Amino acid sequence: MYMSDQTNTSQTGSAATNAHVAMGQAVDRINQDFKEKEIEARAKELGFGYVDILHKPINPDVFELIDYKQAQEAKLVPFSQLGNTVYVAISDPNDPLTKKILSDLTKERYFDVRPYLASTEGIATALAQFAEMFKDHVAVAKPETPATSEDYMVEIAALEKIGAKLHQLGDSQEGLQELELGALSTHASDIHFQPEGNKAMVRFRIDGVLHPVTQLDASVYKFFATQIKHKAGMKINVTNVPQDGRYTLETADHKVDIRVSSLPTEFGDSIVLRFLDTKEQVFELEALGYREPTLSLLKNAQELSQGMIMVTGPTGSGKSTTLYTLLQAFNQPERKLITLENPVEYKLAGVVQSPINEEEGYTFANGLESILRQDPDVIMVGEIRDISTAETSAQAALTGHIVLCTLHTNNAIEAIPRFINMGVKPFIAAPALNIIVAQRLVRKLCVCKEQRTITEMERKFMMDIIARRETPIIAIPDMVFAPKGCQLCSHTGFKGRLVIAEGFKVNEEIEELILNQGSLQEIRNIVINKQQMRTMVEDGIGKVVEGITTVDEVKRVAMF
């Protein structure tokens, strides 16, 4: 078989072209090899390691650590991670942006960063190779700022619409943003992600009660979890130990700190987002729900010159808000106020607020010792949970300082034995303690509430509580208010929460009982009969009579 002249000429030309291309590629490889050797020699001169990033296998998970646009601008790329050690290929160790990125990884993310010098061509190739993955990361790290939180106003009754929209958005940054802003607009305190099998349940906690939003497919939830953990500065590839982190959500009219907690489960991380409004707040005791006689007890505390003011209750009972309210009352030009918090929940003008950092060894205990060297008049300790913090707080209260603190107890009286059982000697605790308040939060009835006749069960509950006193302090009504439901409260019948509380002053009689190891019943007799303390349940019943809440709410949070 013979080829035509045209075919022969064509093949000859093609072969020549291929040879020319091959020769060009060979020259490029030689030039690149020469450049790589130059970079390697420069790395030795500067005391850096060297990596041929063109031929180095890269773990794609590490691309989650650095923003793509910054990586492009600085001409750097992470290429490996072993435990807490991150390896980063850089082109210019003196570049300011490179220094900042590496510093942020070290100081803010707590990584052990190992920079290696690499060629700009190699880094550019690696960046191009993983461009799509980096683009996803840009959306995670730099979400667009929404117009306002009002633009996303939704109600509990419309949470199903959020769920439907999430299914439309799928695994995207917009999906997570929809959840975040939905939580803001419904005044949710938390978002709960709970993986179960091939699904993950999503719920909002609103006014202390969890409400279902939707179920996510496991793949979508995994994407959300990665976004959340990245934004919170947590280790994305670690799923076998609990982690904590935080990030900030900003809209045009709002700035909210979000605390993140992850817990390993059989089906992946269980994640909870806690929303903390960072804007400066103004609180009033009456607005929180305080009534007499506890209201006067706390207002009179503002005249104290020293001593401990202790607020007790379980997690989520509003203790921190009460302490902030007291701080505002103490905040006068002639006083220096310092707080020790984990984390700082509300920004207060005129107050020095110090967040603890246990990973760096800055704890409540040693932080309190440092605070005392700052010559404060008023100190707030977020939580007393160990003997060192307890003893130092008590000593501070005995040496001319007002100490505001929290403790976990069921009622106010139990705070005394709890404090002593932590290891504080009675002869120190007795004069240090000044005022103790215990509180819970109940849901408030919405304005759509309706009046009805009291049930026999409600009447019996009230009578049993009131009968504990020789002289009744509350009259049982014939009519009470009950939840109805409207668009304003999303047909739950409740809107917002308020405090029910009890409190007493540690006077000389109680000090004597503490020193002599008196019983709780003896202390109870003094605070009930002599100080006329209204118990938490009695305070709740009073708010039922006022038409603010219901018997069921009081029983739900205060009967233990």
Higher confidence at residue 154 or residue 415? 415
Q: Is the pLDDT of residue 177 over 70?
A: yes
**Domain-embedded: residue 556:** no
CATH of residue 40: 3.30.300.160
Handedness of CA 167, 168, 174, 177 (dihedral sign): negative
- H or E stretch covering 214: strand 209-217
Q: Over the stretch 217-242, which tens digit does the pLDDT of each residue have? A: 888 888 889 889 988 888 887 888 99
Query: Residue 135: what pLDDT?
Result: 45
Higher confidence at residue 384 or residue 31? 384
Confidence of residue 46 (pLDDT cuts 50, 70, 90): confident
How many structural domains are present in the chain?
A: 3
Q: Over the stretch 483-511, which tens digit does the pLDDT of each residue have? A: 998 877 878 899 889 999 999 999 999 99
Q: Which of 101, 134, 167 is the last residue of a domain?
A: 134
Check whether residue 207 and residue 349 sit in a common domain: no
Q: Which of 277, 312, 327 is the last residue of a domain?
A: 277
Check whether residue 94 and residue 227 sit in a common domain: no
Query: Residue 248: what pLDDT?
Result: 85
Length of the chain: 560
Confidence of residue 176 (pLDDT cuts 50, 70, 90): confident
Check whether residue 206 and residue 82 sit in a common domain: no
Confidence of residue 388 (pLDDT cuts 50, 70, 90): very high
Residue keyed to tokens 């503490």: 514
Check whether residue 315 and residue 391 sit in a common domain: yes
Check whether residue 257 and residue 290 sit in a common domain: no
Check whether residue 266 and residue 391 sit in a common domain: no
**Domain-embedded: residue 408:** yes
Average pLDDT value for residue range 157-173: 54
CATH of residue 246: 3.30.450.90
Check whether residue 46 and residue 68 sit in a common domain: yes
Domain of 527 in residue numbering reads as 285-442+497-536
| Most confident by average pLDDT, 26-30, 221-225, 251-255 | 221-225
- How far CA 371 is from CA of 42, 240, 367, in Å, comes to 49, 36, 6
Query: Residue 441: what pLDDT?
Result: 96
Give dist(CA 247, CA 215) in Å, integer: 24
Burial class (CB in 10 A: 0-12, 13-18, 19+), 303: exposed
**Domain-embedded: residue 225:** yes
Check whether residue 266 and residue 298 sit in a common domain: no
Average pLDDT value for residue range 436-445: 96
**Domain-embedded: residue 72:** yes
**Domain-embedded: residue 331:** yes
Query: Residue 236: what pLDDT?
Result: 82
Q: Residue 242: helix, strand or coil by DSSP?
A: coil
**Domain-embedded: residue 477:** no
**Domain-embedded: residue 490:** no
Average pLDDT value for residue range 56-69: 73
Check whether residue 516 and residue 394 sit in a common domain: yes
Q: For 42-51, 135-144, 297-306, which range has the lowest pLDDT when averaged over its residues?
A: 135-144
**Beta bridge mates, 482:** 450
Check whether residue 56 and residue 127 sit in a common domain: yes
Query: Residue 122: what pLDDT?
Result: 87
Which tokens sit at 373? 């060297």
Check whether residue 332 and residue 244 sit in a common domain: no
Average pLDDT value for residue range 202-208: 88
Q: Which of 134, 165, 193 is the last residue of a domain?
A: 134
Question: Rounded to 10 degrees, what is the CA torsion of 472, 478, 483, 486?
Answer: -130
Give dist(CA 379, CA 366) in Å, integer: 14
Q: Is the pLDDT of residue 1 over 50?
A: no
DSSP class of residue 142 equals S
**Domain-embedded: residue 460:** no
Check whether residue 175 and residue 102 sit in a common domain: no
Query: Residue 380: what pLDDT?
Result: 96
Query: Residue 84: what pLDDT?
Result: 66
Q: Is the pLDDT of residue 155 over 90?
A: no
Query: Residue 253: what pLDDT?
Result: 64
Residue 316: which of 437, 471, 189 has the closest Cα?
189
CATH of residue 352: 3.40.50.300
Confidence of residue 140 (pLDDT cuts 50, 70, 90): very low
Q: Angle at CA 403, nearest 5°, toward 399 and 407? A: 130
Give dist(CA 444, CA 550) in Å, integer: 8
Query: Residue 547: what pLDDT?
Result: 95
Query: Residue 139: what pLDDT?
Result: 34
Average pLDDT value for residue range 23-44: 73
Average pLDDT value for residue range 548-554: 96
Confidence of residue 365 (pLDDT cuts 50, 70, 90): confident
Query: Residue 169: what pLDDT?
Result: 55
Pairing of the two strands 76-82 and 85-90: antiparallel
Q: Is the pLDDT of residue 66 over 70?
A: yes
Residue keyed to tokens 């909870």: 272
